Structure 1
Amino acid sequence: MKRFEEVINIVGPFGRNQKLQFVLLCIVAGCAAFYQMGNTIYSASADHYCKVYDNQTYVDQSPLKNCTIPYSLEGGAVSWDKCRRYDVNVSQGISDEVCSSQKNETLSCDRGWVYDKTWYENTVVYEYNLVCSNDWMKQLSKSFVPLGNLVGAFTFGQLSDYFGRRPIFIITMMMAMTTAIATSFAPNYPMFVIGQFFLGAFPHSLFVTAFVIIMEIIGLEYRTMCGTVIHIVFSLTYMLFGGIAFLSHGNWRQIQLIVGVIYVLYIPTFFVICETPMWLMRKHRYDDAKKVLKKFAKVNKTTLPDDIFEQDKEAFLKSKEKVIQVKPRRYTVLDLFKSPRLRRNTLLMCFNWFSCSFLYYGISLNTDQLGSNPYMTFTLAGFVEIPGCFIAWWLMKNIGRRWSFSGFAVVGGIALMLSIPPKKSIVELSIFFAMISKLCIGAVFTIAFVYAAEIYPTVVRNGGMGFSSLSARLGSITSPFIVLLDVIWGPLPLVVMGMTSVVAGLFALLLPETRNVSLPETLEDGETLGTKYYKKRETDTEERNDITPARRPSFEYKMLAQADHPSDAAVPMM
């Protein structure tokens, strides 16, 4: 059976057709940043205090505030109560007599709150009063995005391996667009939270599917570059979202509607993005794979032999004749755990993704020290990831995936542990280490996507990527709760997160190196990846295709080979 690397080199490993699809996929997938980071703005809060009459506006210092809001002195500074007010009646105006009455009695904010709208015109917090006793609702809405990531990545990863990459690409993009627009008109808080769940599920699954499509339409030597560029586009879109939020003055409904309508512009991509020939080949749909490859060849000005898949088709038909009632195999994530090396690689990769997300949200806990302008802080957090992506690109190309991942994870973890200095007077040092850690985690995520796509075989690649992404979402959901450890020791949360990253970096050294190695296509390929047997299959195609039973490795391949190669089902296996 021909391997994808042999076929793609005939039509061009990165010709004009693939370049066009690559650019479009990067733009569409990059917009996932709008939804992944959106709740940072949507649920943003600001200074607030109790409202005492209708149409009251926020004023930092005023006689009315002095009269109605309790305060205390902390370190020489005035601290105003945000959740209670004095039980005074100011409907007839303010006077010393009115303000001095009932000063010892306070009420909860029964009339609502007034908010400082210097930076945000309208957020979910303002609109639904998610403060004081309702503050947990704000945190809940933020947790629904990674929860949606978790469910969507696993579900659509499986569906993509069953039905193909292109249908899932179209479905997730259309659903992301529809859900974003609908959520901008959410009539109440529950509908907003439901919308955030689906905006976590669809755009993230769209990003993962687009990434897999890119990896499956290009040649080996372009994987590192393309895998890095898509993450750079994500970071640029991350920064763009800060600009959109600023121009909308933090009005969450306007922002949500804008990022939903943007996807309308991408509907024509449906006519350009094709099913990946690698997936079609693994499904033995040779005629369909040939049609796609002919499109590549036509645009790339190359020639595809008419008999490119004749031997493969004949071998497949013969296998169906020899083996009675062979049913087409449908692969699931469970297949990743049925052989020892593939199982080990999957578990290590999942832990690495968990640590990436765990550390990322840990760093986010320190970004509030960067300045008073929330839009500038938000944009800077996206910008600092771009240098990390470029460095990761160079290291992956020249050193490899394994050592690059390990180095960035270890350095990022150590930098995070150093981000809280012993003295408050050197807060700049804390910011410096926090940004070093953010740079490293941006690089780690870039490497993790490329690395995972190169370790999981084609038949379960999207499912494997989805399972890894599920593990990452567990990290992002768990991270906020680790903050509670600060009651034991202030720096303990960052120490736990930093050590997790260091351990993940060391575990990464147990994974096989995939630099300049062709993508594994079958479960057998995934099991032998990194072994001498796999290298032998790469260097000698003819010998690989005509391999005899006696030369197969002696470990558990009978089940794997029968599942991946129906033509081998009638051949006795060792």
Structure 2
Amino acid sequence: MQDYEESVAFLGTWGPFQRRVFILLSLTSIPCGYNILSVIFLLASPSHHCYIPTQSNLSQDWIEASIPVQEEAGKQERSSCSRYELDLVKNLSALGIRPGLEPVHNLSALASGPESVFSNLNQEGCKDGWTYSTEHYQSTVVTEFNLVCSDQWKQPLTSFVYFLGGLTGCLFSGQISDRFGRKPVLFGGIGMLSVFSCALAFAPSWPIFTVLFFMMGLGQIACYIVVFVLGSEILIGSTRVLFSNMALPIIYTTGMMVLPGTAYLVRNWRHLSLIMAVPGLACIPFWWLVPESPRWLLSRGRLLNAELLLRAAALGE
């Protein structure tokens, strides 16, 4: 390895070869950072309440009154997971009674008065589904597959599966890159990000989405680890220090900051999943421009390939 250091030292810290590799490897970290916050926007849970079917023929006042009001964190909020029994509400509406503000204890009291409140009436679950707020999101995975109330546990589980994929990538990306090379694993990880991000947009169910999300998490962390290693093995001197300590983290976090802006403009989760594949696809042409690690070539006994790479670097190619 000392011979490698002596052979490559003459290239100069900021030679054409080093400059090109520095820029290209920094840019390949954008897809990694761009996708890391996807759990926030794809799995967002908008405010929601029980859906009241239109065929129930209830007025807007009755629809609003049929959702119980509960106190949460010191504020009065409409219940997200229950409603007053719809059959009883329809009966009250048919009697010509208006929603009111006073508690009522039995049906006879309701029938005798012009107004009614439901605080003592039986409640039921959201048998007809939910109505979701579209103030911030047109749709998310939560609203698409109804991951709320009794199925609310599926939302954090999906996030866990995504980061479990990242953990798996941490454990195996290094071993795989030692076996097959840094460059194939780097672009394989970027390819996984793009392919499975596109596939997410066509997921027909929550289980399939979760499996695809796991694979996407695996590619996300694998590409970042390998781009760090590849840059550290190719670059030398102050270029290596600048790449690993400043350029790579800054470009990575820049990618993280771009996604919220994209999610603000694209509020449908399926469309956002498709757009999240774009940075990775844009990096695919870098395959023909980014070299393999000379150190890895030497460790695998591929001396001729390492020599050709160093000669090309010396000529600034």
Instruction: Tell me which moved more, 186-195 or 274-283.
Output: 274-283
Contact 1:68 1:85 in 2 (8 A): yes
Q: Which residue of 1 aligns with 2:315?
A: 298
Matched, 1:19 2:37: no
Q: How far is 1:45 from its partner?
A: 1.0
Matched, 1:63 2:61: yes
Larger relative contact order (C-alpha < 8 A, sep ≥ 6)? Answer: 2
What is the CA–CA distance in structure 1 between the aligned matches of 2:248 and 2:134, rounded to whole Å?
Answer: 35
Q: Which residue of 2 aligns with 1:552?
A: none
Matched, 1:288 2:301: no
Amino acid at match of 1:291: L
Q: Which residue of 1 aligns with 2:262?
A: 244
What is the CA–CA distance in structure 2 between the aligned matches of 1:55 and 1:10, rounded to whole Å?
Answer: 80
Equivalence map 1:488-527=2 (5 Å):
none
What is the CA–CA distance in structure 2 between the aligned matches of 1:74 and 1:41, rounded to whole Å?
Answer: 24
Equivalence map 1:114-513=2 (5 Å):
114-227=131-244, 228-248=246-266, 250-299=267-316
Matched, 1:30 2:30: yes
Contact 2:35 2:256 in 1 (8 A): no
Q: 1:271 to 1:88 in 2, by over 3 A?
A: same
Q: How far is 1:215 from its partner?
A: 0.6
1:508-558 deviations in Å (ceiling 9; x for gaps): xxxxxxxxxxxxxxxxxxxxxxxxxxxxxxxxxxxxxxxxxxxxxxxxxxx
What is the CA–CA distance in structure 1 between the aligned matches of 2:132 and 2:260, rounded to whole Å?
Answer: 21
3-state SS of paired residue (1:31): helix
Contact 1:72 1:80 in 2 (8 A): yes
Q: 1:135 to 1:25 in 2, by over 3 A?
A: same
Contact 1:88 1:98 in 2 (8 A): no
Q: 1:297 to 1:261 in 2, by over 3 A?
A: same
Q: How far is 1:94 from its partner?
A: 4.7
What is the CA–CA distance in structure 2 between the aligned matches of 1:291 and 1:188, rounded to whole Å?
Answer: 50
Aligned residues: 294
Amino acid at match of 2:156: Q
Q: Which runs of 5+ in 1 are unaligned?
A: 57-61, 301-574
Contact 2:34 2:252 in 1 (8 A): no
Seq. identity, %: 29
1:472-514 deviations in Å (ceiling 9; x for gaps): xxxxxxxxxxxxxxxxxxxxxxxxxxxxxxxxxxxxxxxxxxx
Q: 1:264 to 1:91 in 2, by over 3 A?
A: farther
Q: Which residue of 2 aligns with 1:6?
A: 6
Q: How far is 1:224 from its partner?
A: 2.2
What is the CA–CA distance in structure 2 between the aligned matches of 1:211 and 1:143, rounded to whole Å?
Answer: 25
3-state SS of paired residue (1:107): strand
1:323-361 deviations in Å (ceiling 9; x for gaps): xxxxxxxxxxxxxxxxxxxxxxxxxxxxxxxxxxxxxxx
Q: Which residue of 2 aligns with 1:79?
A: 77
What is the CA–CA distance in structure 2 between the aligned matches of 1:295 and 1:173, rounded to whole Å?
Answer: 26
Q: 1:112 to 1:75 in 2, by over 3 A?
A: closer
Q: 1:76 to 1:292 in 2, by over 3 A?
A: closer
Q: 1:136 to 1:75 in 2, by over 3 A?
A: closer
Q: 1:296 to 1:97 in 2, by over 3 A?
A: same
Q: Which residue of 2 aligns with 1:44?
A: 44
What is the CA–CA distance in structure 2 between the aligned matches of 1:10 and 1:55, rounded to whole Å?
Answer: 80
RMSD (CA atoms): 2.4
Q: How far is 1:21 from its partner?
A: 2.1
What is the CA–CA distance in structure 2 between the aligned matches of 1:75 and 1:176, rounded to whole Å?
Answer: 39
Contact 1:176 1:199 in 2 (8 A): yes
Contact 2:82 2:126 in 1 (8 A): yes
Amino acid at match of 1:243: G
What is the CA–CA distance in structure 2 between the aligned matches of 1:202 and 1:192, rounded to whole Å?
Answer: 15
Q: How far is 1:130 from its partner?
A: 0.8
TM-score between both structures, scaled by the size of structure 2: 0.85
What is the CA–CA distance in structure 1 between the aligned matches of 2:308 and 2:74, rounded to whole Å?
Answer: 75
Matched, 1:88 2:80: no
Q: How far is 1:203 from its partner?
A: 2.0
Contact 2:190 2:280 in 1 (8 A): yes
Q: 1:269 to 1:92 in 2, by over 3 A?
A: farther
Q: 1:277 to 1:28 in 2, by over 3 A?
A: same
Q: 1:20 to 1:94 in 2, by over 3 A?
A: farther
Contact 2:22 2:235 in 1 (8 A): no
Q: Which residue of 2 aligns with 1:112?
A: 129
Q: How far is 1:268 from its partner?
A: 1.1
3-state SS of paired residue (2:292): coil
Contact 1:5 1:220 in 2 (8 A): no
What is the CA–CA distance in structure 2 between the aligned matches of 1:280 and 1:76, rounded to whole Å?
Answer: 64
Q: How far is 1:54 from its partner?
A: 5.1
Q: 1:278 to 1:110 in 2, by over 3 A?
A: same
Question: Which has the larger strand fraction?
Answer: 2
Q: 1:91 to 1:200 in 2, by over 3 A?
A: same
Amino acid at match of 1:230: L
What is the CA–CA distance in structure 1 between the aligned matches of 2:74 and 2:301, rounded to whole Å?
Answer: 75
3-state SS of paired residue (1:52): coil
3-state SS of paired residue (2:316): helix
Q: 1:220 to 1:85 in 2, by over 3 A?
A: same
Q: 1:75 to 1:134 in 2, by over 3 A?
A: closer
3-state SS of paired residue (1:299): coil
What is the CA–CA distance in structure 1 between the aligned matches of 2:236 and 2:22, rounded to whole Å?
Answer: 12
Contact 1:122 1:252 in 2 (8 A): yes
1:136-174 deviations in Å (ceiling 9; x for gaps): 100011111110011122222101011211121222222
Amino acid at match of 2:194: M
Question: Which has the larger helix fraction?
Answer: 1
Q: How far is 1:42 from its partner?
A: 0.4
TM-score between both structures, scaled by the size of structure 1: 0.48
What is the CA–CA distance in structure 2 between the aligned matches of 1:235 and 1:160, rounded to whole Å?
Answer: 24
Amino acid at match of 1:79: E
3-state SS of paired residue (2:83): strand
Q: How far is 1:98 from its partner?
A: 7.3
